[in-house]
Structure 1
């Protein structure tokens, strides 16, 4: 398979040669490995942490890592180990923050990443670890995917079937070139995930679970979404607004499912505006 336009771009090649991929094991099970990129001044102890969608790896936020670190921000993009329950994920991320000596973080979460970010903020609300959230094309209740009954069987499904499930949400119609390039890049990332990685993420994405927004009262929330086609319906977006009536809204006219790649300049401006 030929590499995508983004993988071949000078910007991406420059990112890969300048920002090393680090791995951390914080659980007793050594197979559970966090992978992350950490760019910008290490003296910043409340950095921006990026959580990718179910199909994404840590490098899907490379344009944020390059652009924002150049502007003086510390930004960390990560990918999750294989966790099958929300409790495991929350405990694992807490241990990662402790290991990196980070008391609090801002989180930019995309789709599943946004849901996990909300659940982490909810589960740690008595001893807060989240300063703010930017939720990009995200949701607060997994029942929207109508897969809660089949979620417990994902662990035994072949990778090909799981990939088809994810790709069913990608744009099928005619889209702008930069949106098309972002889809190609995410399809590549999807192909790089193991069956266990994908099955565990889809399990977290679809198992019966929802956010209790009242527990996020002290967290500054920005909802970032697009006005063109993406995997989430208009009704789901409206529910998010109702969930967080005080939230800032960052609207992009276009961007598809992955605006942090297709419209990175606009997204980076919104991120910077959130931390002014």
Structure 2
């Protein structure tokens, strides 16, 4: 019997799943590769907020952002990628997805691996910019922190159970409250739903040797969002990200663990609104109407 979390049985989550359809969009020549997205909010908005998950996440983990922000006129798209084995392939696939959706530019909220890939995509498209802004949550700019570049080449042959145990080893935290426990349970449930190839490809992207050429992103408005309690990455990783983006705005959460978008959704949503508000009267608003009127 598969694991069932309290959060996936909540009225809020069930409402999200019943009102927002899951779309599968194939952009590569391989028909087995399909991006899975939830598109919430006014479709006339052409520079939406894109949410990219960590290794263990599926597209629906951002349902609390999708529901709350779309109610304020913001278009929110949460996306889950198919199997890609290197960052360049992922970036090319993501670019094709944006082309398919007819989106010239987007704002990206990325958590952990999602934040790293968001930065790499901004770097990848620097000559023809597709990223209007970034919100980076509990993330990193250099995969050297994982110290297992050589292991990355072997993930594709490891059993799903082994891969899941590797990931869940980062979930545990001594100081957790009921909201954080609920978030961890939900993420475990999402992790259990992922097939071996998807887990292996995500871990490979996470650990393959690579770093962000941060100077290429100097013109992009960036907010760095992180928690001050225990989470999977070290304080030195956080400090390194600050050094990469000295002009970034900082959004600090006193607590929240690995998944603050679930455990501290109100705070995260407020910081996202503040970040996006600066674009209301520009060419790239994420909302249908100014947030100041709400």
Q: What's 1:179 paired with? A: 180
Q: Distance in 2 between matches of 1:238 and 1:189?
A: 30
Q: What's 1:166 paired with? A: 167
Q: Distance in 2 between matches of 1:163 and 1:191?
A: 8
Which secondary structure state, in structure 2, belongs to the residue aligned with residue 66 of structure 1?
helix
Q: Distance in 1 between matches of 2:276 and 2:4?
A: 35
In the alignment, is the contact (CA less than 8 A) between 1:143 and 1:208 conserved in 2?
yes
In the alignment, is the contact (CA less than 8 A) between 1:154 and 1:203 conserved in 2?
yes
In the alignment, is the contact (CA less than 8 A) between 1:171 and 1:256 conserved in 2?
no
1:189 pairs with 2:190: yes
Q: What's 1:270 paired with? A: 271
In the alignment, is the contact (CA less than 8 A) between 1:48 and 1:107 conserved in 2?
yes
Q: What's 2:256 paired with? A: 255
Cα deviation, residue 87, structure 1: 1.0
Cα deviation, residue 2, structure 1: 4.9
Q: Distance in 2 between matches of 1:2 and 1:220?
A: 40
Q: Which deviates the most, 131-140 or 174-183? A: 174-183
Where do 5+ consecutive residues of structure 1 fail to align? none
Q: What's 2:83 paired with? A: 82
1:31 pairs with 2:32: yes
Count of matched residue positions in the alignment of Structure 1 and Structure 2: 276
Q: Distance in 1 between matches of 2:136 and 2:203?
A: 18
1:136 pairs with 2:137: yes
Q: What's 2:120 paired with? A: 119
User: RMSD value over aligned CA atoms?
Assistant: 0.7
Q: What's 1:218 paired with? A: 219
Q: What's 2:232 paired with? A: 231
Which secondary structure state, in structure 2, belongs to the residue aligned with residue 275 of structure 1?
helix
Q: Which deviates the most, 165-174 or 183-192? A: 165-174
In the alignment, is the contact (CA less than 8 A) between 1:61 and 1:260 conserved in 2?
yes
Which secondary structure state, in structure 2, belongs to the residue aligned with residue 108 of structure 1?
strand
Q: What's 2:4 paired with? A: 3
Q: Distance in 1 between matches of 2:143 and 2:3?
A: 35
- The 4+ residue runs of structure 1 with deviation greater than 3 A are none
Q: Distance in 1 between matches of 2:235 and 2:49?
A: 28
Write the mapping of 1:200-215 to structure 2, written as runs, cut at 5 A.
Answer: 200-215=201-216
Which secondary structure state, in structure 2, belongs to the residue aligned with residue 12 of structure 1?
helix
Cα deviation, residue 197, structure 1: 0.2
Q: What's 1:71 paired with? A: 72
Q: Distance in 2 between matches of 1:197 and 1:69?
A: 29
In the alignment, is the contact (CA less than 8 A) between 2:173 and 2:230 conserved in 1?
no
In the alignment, is the contact (CA less than 8 A) between 1:171 and 1:229 conserved in 2?
no
Where do 5+ consecutive residues of structure 2 fail to align? 278-294
Cα deviation, residue 129, structure 1: 0.1
What TM-score does the superposition give when structure 2 sets the normalisation length? 0.93
